[in-house]
Amino acid sequence: MEKNYWLFKSEPFKWSWEMQKAKGEAGEEWDGIRNYQARNNMRQMKIGDKAFFYHSNEGLEVVGIAEVCALSHPDTTINDDRWDCVDIKAVCDMPKPVTLKAVKANPALEKMSLVTSMRLSVQPVTKQEWLEVCRMGGLENPPL
């Protein structure tokens, strides 16, 4: 089965990559999403899909790789059936964080959602974009 690739944005003062890694194999709910497009993206996710973990506002860089470890389910932080979330777990650090500036400067990534839909907190990533960002980050054998 073909895996999909994603990007999750988080403000590091609210939920950092270090906090995500501390959750270990159990992972953590990616809660608090109140955007329909981001929610719909999470509803499409499958167990084992890989994702970039991106620090927004501070850092503006891909700092790690995560994996979806629980399918879309009701967000436990709100009593409203409209809002779902998935659980993700940390897989590995990005050896060299990939900055937004570097992504924007790379012609191969000009159509990446991170460039074209910057405000969207949960974004799809194509396999070609996945491989290119991993290459930029120094991952010789990126998790697929």
In whole numbers, what is the pLDDT of the chain averaged over residues? Answer: 96
Max distance between CA atoms of the chain, in angstroms, equals 43
Q: Is residue 15 part of a domain?
A: yes
Give me the residue label for tokens 């990939």: 98
- Structural domain including 75 reads 5-136
pLDDT of 2: 78
CATH number at residue 67: 3.10.590.10
The C-alpha atoms of residue 70 and residue 22 are separated, in whole angstroms, by 17
Give the mean pLDDT of 5-30: 97
Q: Is residue 117 part of a domain?
A: yes
pTM for the model: 0.96
pLDDT of 144: 86
Q: Is residue 141 part of a domain?
A: no
Total number of domains constituting the chain: 1
How large is the C-alpha radius of gyration of the chain? 14
